[in-house]
Amino acid sequence: MKRSLFLFIWFIITLTAPLVHASEAAKPSGQVTSLSEILVLNSYHPGYAWSDDEQAGVIDVLRAKDKNGVPVVECLDLKRLPDGKHLAELKKLFRLKYRNKKFSVVIAMDNPALEFAIDSREELFGNAPIVFCGINNYTPALLKGRSDVTGIAESIDLAGTIEVMLRLHPDTREIFSPHDDTATGLAVRKELEALAPRFAKVRFRFNDPLSMEELLKELKRLPKDSLVLEIGFITDKSGRTFGISETTKLFYEHSPVPIYSTYEQRLGFGIVGGKLLNPQIHGTNAGRVALRVLAGEKASTIPIVFDSDSQFMFDYKVLSRFGIPLSALPEGSTVINKPVSFYAAHREVILTASGIIGFLSIIIVLLIINTIQRKRSSEVIRRKDELFKVITSSNPDYILIQDNELRYSFVMNPQLGLTEQDMIGKTDHGFLSKEDADALTEIKRQVLKTGQPVHVEVPLISSKGEKEFFDGSYIPKCDEKGQIDGLIGYFRNVTERKRAEEDIRRMALMLDTAPNSVTVHDFDGRFLYANQRTLDLHGFNRDEFLAINLHQLDAPDSEKLIAPRMQELLNRGEAIFEVAHSRKDGSTLPLEVSARITTWGDKKVILSVATDLTDRKQTENTLRESEERLRFHTDNSPMAVIEWNADFIITRWTGAAEKVFGWSFEETIGKPIMELLMIYEEDIPIVQSVMQRLTDGKSKQVVSSNRNYTKKGEVIQCEWYNSVLYDSAGKMISVMSQVLDITERKRAEEEKHRLEERSRKIVEDIFRFIPEGVLVFSRKRELLRQNEAFRELASGYAKRLGFAEDELENLIVDKIKAAMGDKNIKEIRISMKHETGEQTFDGFEELVLELDMARILFAEEEKARIVISIKDITERKMMEESERRNREVAERLALETAIIAEIGRVVGSILNINKVYKLVATETRKLIPYDRLLVNRVKKGDDRFIVAFFSGIGNPKRRVGDLYPCKGTTTGVVMRTRSGILVQPDDAEEIKDLYPNLYETFKAGLRSTMSVPLISMGEVIGSMNFRSKKLKAYTEHDLRLAERIGMQVAGAIVNAELFNDLDKMEKSLRESEENFRRS
């Protein structure tokens, strides 16, 4: 016991040690300044992938120390405005915004931000320490002699990337490096030019300032022995800016040669790869340096980091396009988009699950040890443990405990739609029907009376009125004195098993009534199942048959073929063959067997469907005997019988023919009729006419009279009775002359029978082996048969759509009949809208069925059959429709993102608020259609608003610059609620009292209104209002979109006001200075 206790304590310590370590690690190493005292200075604009990821890395590190804090972020927008003319205005704005704020550290991202921070540190940032990152071509001169500056240089490994390019493409003669004229682009070009002598075998080529279209044409013209090294083309010569992924995609689409880069953001958009720098890791490292400064270290004592974070990374899809094998890549390379194994794709889940299972297994072992110890320590614990084992050992679905009064004291996993609260403290009469409660009470009282367990299977009615079946036992429960004080019940819901058993019973009944023999046996020949037809054919009862092995059942000749047939089944999965079985009475049973491999439980078995061939064999024997008798009579007939093939070559020459014409059998067989010179010259036209009539297919029998020569040269007069035999295509096979050809007639009848039998077999095979629905129609379009798959298809949709059982079947059949006249018809569509309502199937309004028609011919045209297979392709059509909708949504989201970005650009770069209003109105109309757009500004401390801007249909009662009360307007509502609102009534009277101002607007034809608040620094400063003539013109999605636009407009308003205030202050200061000089 002590040993087990020691193991348990050791295990707990092992589990909790990592948690203690984690809690210690989580303690802060030093006091960190509030994040609001940290300024992140971004050289570029939101949406530029490099600086976005770099900034994300910085902020993630900072927020790990203060999850509720947010650092101050300012963007210089020097990628879209590379001339920097706006920096002077930004300085004024920053001076006004941060005149009363002291920063603890400034984080400068990329070269422009560092230069701006160093030049403006004393003026704007109070000589705060500077931490930089993303600096290309770093030299100490960049710091201009300033102290208290440190950071991480952006060390892209151009040389490493060029080396791997030349290793993967040894025939390269030229490397083309497109770049823009921004500071970053020119800096990287300068670095690349410095490396050019190191790679003298290739020529490095750069571009002059070009537009994007001109550069793409340049890429298209690249020769096959060149490569592209993308070093930074974001702004073209016209001033247009492009995202990193957008630029990379365009280069990939137009370049015939591989593209490489040094930045990870381009990976996955068309580059092969390279030694790539991850901006987020770069920013994370810079954030850690900033935390060291905030913790008290002097920035000047922290050395500048020059080590590169780059690593080899490649795109499997692009590697495949250019035929580059993975084996050629540097060791340790990361490859994205590579097909992964199941374990690799789910490694974390598998390892986590394994860990949990192992952890739970250890817990279970420890609990078992603890339970055994507790059992030994106390009799009371022993009895409770015994009760627990009784309950858990059976592993039931439903466990209950009742006292002597049959009141429930414990319920686990209640059934019948009940909860524990429904049952605890009650008897069965408290929640079951009287009939069910009486039956259960009688069983339970018997257990309490006799003290004996009872196993029962009971049907009960659930709270939904459905019958459910339960299988289990009631056992008596005893107190500490051994007296019965209640009972325990444990049951399993076997409703599904009952239904399955019923399905099996129905299936077995169907198989037992099948006209063919159906058996299942394993590969050793042991029978597992046989239907009633099998037993009837063989003469055994079921027990006798199942005790017989296949080797015993096969007749000796058939038994020899069991091994080859088994091999054929293993090779093909199915086989059709003939066998002979021995009946119980010793007679032979000929069978045609169609066998295939299937599963029976968890083992593979052989399913065989056999047809009794007794009648067919007897027919074949009878036919053979008849042919022999006919041949005997023909050969011994006194009438000459001659048979010709389609080329009028003699194929039969009887003894009577030899007597008539004199030529023997050997002299005539295989010779054309004209070669024998047996036709009298003058009668040759008659014979030719007869031959023409025989070959043109118009006459099946031709009687003619003409003269013939004998072998001796004698002329004789003959009557020719000619009958013609044609194949199923109407082509002549043979001619029988001088005989009423009973044999050929029999052959024709046999051919007809075989054709019909073959056609019927084709139809039966279709019914047996095709999983799709099948319908068989007569030549007159009368439905003759339908298989079970078709019935299941129709009944399944009928139940889901509320049709009567056979209503949908008839509807489908009628549709197919109507379509049969069109030979090109491939599918039919049936509306899902039932006449009793507007029901549809998963939002799809049509059931779509694919048709495949086949015409099966019989000898007699009226017996021809049209077989149509039916495949349900509704879900495929739904998926195609869903994909179309998803594409539309994606295109819509892309448009929204682009326009929101454009609005952000306008808001961030223009301080004239009227220009901002006009540009926002133009761009917003592309996303949210309107007939009138209003921007209202709220007078601070006044319950009135001023109309600041309108676009579209004018309103004489709402003029720009006028003041209006907020009461009774949507502007008043959004000011109060601080959220957007949709007002789209069907009738104007619905809003007459709530929004009297909108009442007149609605009556004037603007039937939909959407208003959103303009919020800045947590304060509502106005509203943006959309009006449309269309009823229900706006959706919740439009409302969210308008709120996003409103936030940007609010920022523009505040920036413009700050700029105006600053301008007024400067004018006032100049006037004061002027007045001072005058005085």
Token pair recorded at residue 639: 């009438």
**Rounded-to-10 torsion of CA 372, 377, 383, 385:** -30
In DSSP terms, which residues pair with 718 in a beta bridge?
706
CA dist 728 → 172, 634, 696, 885 (Å): 69, 26, 15, 53
Q: Tell me, what's the pLDDT at 387?
A: 58
Do 325 and 233 lie in one domain? The reply is: yes
Q: Which residue has the higher pLDDT, 285 or 908?
A: 285
Do 146 and 232 lie in one domain? The reply is: no
- Residue from 896, 974, 990, 907 nearest 934 by CA: 974
Domain boundary among 581, 612, 643: 612
| pLDDT tens readout for residues 727-765 | 777 788 888 886 343 434 445 455 666 766 766 676 666
Do 634 and 714 lie in one domain? The reply is: yes
User: Using H for helix, E for strand and C for coil, what is the string for 985-1007?
Assistant: CCCHHHHCCCCHHHHHHHHCCCC
Q: Tell me, what's the pLDDT at 341?
A: 63
Asked if pLDDT for residue 634 goes beyond 70, the answer is: no
Instruction: Name the amino acid, one letter, at 318.
Output: V
Q: What pTM, to 2 d.p., does this model score?
A: 0.32
Asked if pLDDT for residue 175 goes beyond 90, the answer is: yes
Do 444 and 368 lie in one domain? The reply is: no
| pLDDT tens readout for residues 1-38 | 444 444 444 444 444 444 334 334 333 444 445 777 89
Do 148 and 176 lie in one domain? The reply is: no
Q: Tell me, what's the pLDDT at 255?
A: 93
| pLDDT tens readout for residues 665-710 | 888 898 887 787 888 888 889 888 888 888 887 777 888 888 888 8
How far apart, in whole angstroms, are the C-alpha atoms of residue 514 and residue 518? 8
Average pLDDT over residues 413-441: 82
| pLDDT tens readout for residues 443-468 | 888 888 888 888 888 888 877 777 78
Residue 703 lies in a domain: yes
Range in 284-288, 639-643, 983-987 the model is least confident about: 639-643
Q: Tell me, what's the pLDDT at 503?
A: 65
Q: b or e along 925-962 (b: 16 or more beta carbons within 10 Å of the residue's beta carbon)? A: eebbebbbbbbbbbeeeeeebbbbbbbbeebeebeeee
Domain boundary among 555, 587, 612: 612
Q: Tell me, what's the pLDDT at 54?
A: 87
Residue 853 lies in a domain: yes
Check which CATH number belongs to the domain holding 829 and give it: 3.30.450
Q: Could you tell me what percent of the chain has a pLDDT over 70?
A: 86
CA angle at 605 for the pair 601 and 607, rounded to the nearest 5°: 110
Average pLDDT over residues 829-849: 60
In three-state secondary structure terms, 418 is coil
Average pLDDT over residues 791-815: 80
Asked if pLDDT for residue 196 goes beyond 60, the answer is: yes
Structural contact between residues 722 and 737, judged by C-beta atoms closer than 8 angstroms:
yes
Asked if pLDDT for residue 485 goes beyond 80, the answer is: yes
User: Using H for helix, E for strand and C for coil, what is the string for 17-70?
Assistant: HHHHHHHHHHCCCCCCCCHHHEEEEECCCCCCHHHHHHHHHHHHHHHHHCCCCC
In three-state secondary structure terms, 91 is helix
Residue 346 lies in a domain: yes
Q: Tell me, what's the pLDDT at 746?
A: 44
Residue 900 lies in a domain: no
Total tally of structural domains belonging to the chain = 8
Residue 352 — very low, low, confident or very high, per pLDDT cuts 50/70/90?
confident
Residue 232 lies in a domain: yes
Give residue 662's region: left, alpha or beta (phi > 0; psi -120 to 50): left
Residue 390 lies in a domain: yes
CA dist 132 → 48, 152, 1071 (Å): 18, 6, 41
| pLDDT tens readout for residues 920-950 | 888 888 888 999 999 988 877 778 888 888 8
Do 994 and 931 lie in one domain? The reply is: yes
Check which CATH number belongs to the domain holding 745 and give it: 3.30.450.20
Which residues, 6+ apart, have CB-to-CB distance to 731 below 8 Å? Answer: 646
| pLDDT tens readout for residues 575-612 | 888 888 888 888 888 888 888 888 877 788 888 888 88
| pLDDT tens readout for residues 277-324 | 888 888 888 899 999 998 889 988 899 888 777 889 999 999 999 999
Which helix (H) or strand (E) is 924 found in, with range? helix 913-925
Do 73 and 215 lie in one domain? The reply is: no
Instruction: Name the amino acid, one letter, at 513.
Output: T
Which residues, 6+ apart, have CB-to-CB distance to 163 below 8 Å? Answer: none
Residue 890 lies in a domain: no
Average pLDDT over residues 645-659: 85
Q: Tell me, what's the pLDDT at 633?
A: 67
Domain boundary among 123, 153, 183: 153
Q: Tell me, what's the pLDDT at 64?
A: 85
The pair phi, psi for residue 998, each rounded to 5°, is -70, -25
Q: Tell me, what's the pLDDT at 1079?
A: 65
| pLDDT tens readout for residues 43-81 | 888 988 778 888 888 888 888 888 777 889 999 998 888
Provide the residue range defining the domain that includes 351. 341-377
Q: Where are the alpha helices (DSSP H) in 521-561?
A: 532-538, 542-546, 550-553, 556-559
Asked if pLDDT for residue 859 goes beyond 70, the answer is: no
How far apart, in whole angstroms, are the C-alpha atoms of residue 787 and residue 809? 12
Q: Which residue has the higher pLDDT, 857 or 1047?
A: 1047
Do 192 and 334 lie in one domain? The reply is: yes
Check which CATH number belongs to the domain holding 1021 and give it: 3.30.450.40
Average pLDDT over residues 268-275: 91
Q: Tell me, what's the pLDDT at 501?
A: 66
Alpha carbon 689 to chain centroid distance?
Answer: 72
Do 646 and 739 lie in one domain? The reply is: yes
Q: Tell me, what's the pLDDT at 511?
A: 67
Q: Tell me, what's the pLDDT at 749?
A: 56
Q: Tell me, what's the pLDDT at 325?
A: 93
Do 740 and 834 lie in one domain? The reply is: no
Structural contact between residues 59 and 71, judged by C-beta atoms closer than 8 angstroms:
yes
CA dist 1067 → 86, 124, 586, 1057 (Å): 20, 21, 125, 15
Do 85 and 220 lie in one domain? The reply is: no
Residue 470 lies in a domain: yes
How far apart, in whole angstroms, are the C-alpha atoms of residue 344 and residue 347? 5
Residue listed under structure tokens 């009438």? 639
How far apart, in whole angstroms, are the C-alpha atoms of residue 388 and residue 373? 15
Do 593 and 663 lie in one domain? The reply is: no
| Number of other residues whose CB lies within 10 A of the CB of residue 171 | 7
Range in 264-268, 430-434, 886-890 the model is least confident about: 886-890
